[in-house]
Amino acid sequence: MKSEHDPLTDAEIGELDDLLAALPAPLEPLDTTSLDGYLCGVLLQPTAVAATRWLPLVYDVEGRPSGDPPGTARIAELSRRRHAELDRAIGQRRWFDPWIFEPDDELAPAQATLPWVAGFAAAMDAFPALMALGSPALLEPLAVLYAAFDPDDLEDADELLAVIDTLEPPAEMTEAVEDLVRSVLLLADVSRPLAAAPGASRRPPARRPTRRPPR
C-alpha cells in the first residue's frame, strides 16, 4: 500500500475520477479537477481543517451523508494522498501541477479553469476562516482566481470585481495554470506565513498578472 508521501499516478487520478462519478444519486460529488481546487482551498485555511470535516464534501458538495457506498474508502485514501502532496507544496511554497486538463473545445483558458476554481470556491464557502482574515493582500490573488466566474455570479463583491476588471485574461493555458499556482502561494503567504530563512529560495510560481491600461 502506498504511503501519503507518494504522489498520485495518472492511472490513480483516472481511477479517482471514475470512483467519484460512480457515487450514486442523490450525491453530487466533486470531480478530480474541482477536488483539486477544493483541497487547495481547504489547505489555505489559517487553522488546519480535519479530514472528518473536509472529506464529506468530496462525496457530496452539500455535505449530505454518503451512506458509505462502494468506493468511498478508496476515494478517501486517494484524496488524502493528494491533500498531503498539496500540503507539502503549499507549506514549502513549491510549484505544484494543478489537475487542470486541456479543453477539447474552444474554451478560453480562464473558462477552462472554472471547475478548479469552483472547487476552490466551495472550500471558501464551507470554511470561511481565510476570507475572514480581511487582509488587503488577499484581494489580488483572489481576483485572479475568481476571474474565471461570470461577473453576475459574484454578488456583493464589488471590491473584488473592481480588481478583476483590471486583469488581462491569460492568453494560453500555461499562463492560466501559472496564475492559479501563483495565487495559491500568495494566499498562503497571508494565511500560512513562513518564518524567514536565510538563503531560502523557491521556484517562481507564475507570471505577475498583466493589467489593462486605465480606461
115 burial via Cβ count (<10 Å: 0-12, 13-18, 19+): buried
Q: Has residue 100 been placed in a domain?
A: yes
Position 84 scores a pLDDT of: 97
Angle, CA of 89, 93 and 98, to the nearest 5°: 50
Least confident of 10-19, 20-29, 201-210: 201-210
CA distance linking residue 71 with residue 67, whole number of Å: 11
Whether 186 has a pLDDT exceeding 80, the answer reads yes
8 φ/ψ angles, rounded to the nearest 5 degrees: -70, 140
Position 82 scores a pLDDT of: 98
Position 90 scores a pLDDT of: 97
Position 184 scores a pLDDT of: 97
Residue 53's CATH number? 1.20.120.740
Name the strand (E) or helix (H) holding 154. none
Give the number of domains in the chain. Answer: 1
Specify whether the backbone of 90 is left (phi greater than 0), alpha (psi in -120 to 50) or beta: alpha
Q: Has residue 15 been placed in a domain?
A: yes
Position 153 scores a pLDDT of: 85
Considering the entire predicted model, what is its pTM?
0.89
Q: Has residue 70 been placed in a domain?
A: yes
Average pLDDT score over the chain? 88
Q: Which domain holds residue 171?
A: 10-191
pLDDT in tens, 21-77: 999 999 999 999 999 999 999 999 999 999 999 999 999 999 988 888 889 999 999
Position 71 scores a pLDDT of: 92
CA distance linking residue 81 with residue 18, whole number of Å: 17
Asked if residue 43 lies in contact with residue 80, where contact means CB atoms within 8 angstroms, the answer is no
Instruction: Tell me whether the omega of the peptide bond preceding residue 26 falls within 30 degrees of 0, making it cis.
Output: yes
- 195: DSSP letter: P
Q: Has residue 204 been placed in a domain?
A: no
Position 158 scores a pLDDT of: 86
Instruction: Tell me the mean pLDDT in the region 160-177.
Output: 91
C-alpha cell at 5: 508521501
DSSP-derived 3-state class of residue 134: coil
Q: Has residue 110 been placed in a domain?
A: yes
Q: Which residues, including other chains, have CB under 8 Å from residue 129's CB and lie 6 or more apart?
A: 45, 46, 47, 191
Q: Has residue 61 been placed in a domain?
A: yes
CA distance linking residue 8 with residue 5, whole number of Å: 9
Position 1 scores a pLDDT of: 56
Q: Has residue 198 been placed in a domain?
A: no
- 53 versus 213: the higher-pLDDT residue is 53
- 153: DSSP letter: G
pLDDT in tens, 112-154: 899 999 999 999 999 999 999 999 999 999 999 999 998 888 8
Q: Has residue 76 been placed in a domain?
A: yes
